Amino acid sequence: MSALVLVVDDDDAIRDMLQSVLEDEGYVVSLARHGLEALQRIMERPPSVILLDLQMPVMTGYELHDALKAQGAAIPVVYMSAGTIVRSEAERRHADGYIAKPFSLDDLVGTVARFVA
């Protein structure tokens, strides 16, 4: 069975683009528009890795990551956000990785491959 990647982002275009790219690479992709929806997806089927936007309505990426840590979930979390803040936030909050928007598709695919290997 192919690895499952959960993409959590409130931007429809980004979710659709990531789904298309990752499915072309052979991954199964699950989508969520915010952290609360992501928690539901995780309960249905835990992913191999989570690509997580930070600023979203309903439940932010930070809140979702905190909830996963509180539950002791061992799912790698990769922050996705614009600007230079994403690296410092990923380090400060102990995310497994980060991708700064805009990102190259090679960086995206390489990052996902690193966590599902």
- Choice between 51 and 87, residue whose per-residue pLDDT is larger: 51
The answer to whether the CB of 8 falls within 8 A of the CB of 64 is yes
Superfamily name with CATH number, domain 4-116? Response regulator (3.40.50.2300)
Q: So what's the pLDDT on residue 102?
A: 85
Q: What residue spans define the domains of the chain?
A: 4-116
Q: So what's the pLDDT on residue 101?
A: 83
Q: State the Cα–Cα distance between residues 16 and 93, nearest whole angstrom.
A: 27
Q: State the Cα–Cα distance between residues 7 and 12, nearest whole angstrom.
A: 11
Q: So what's the pLDDT on residue 1?
A: 56
- Tell me: the pLDDT tens digits for 72-115? 889 999 999 887 777 778 887 888 988 988 889 999 999 999 99
- Computed from CA positions of residues 10, 113, 91, 102, in that sequence, does the dihedral angle turn out positive or negative? negative
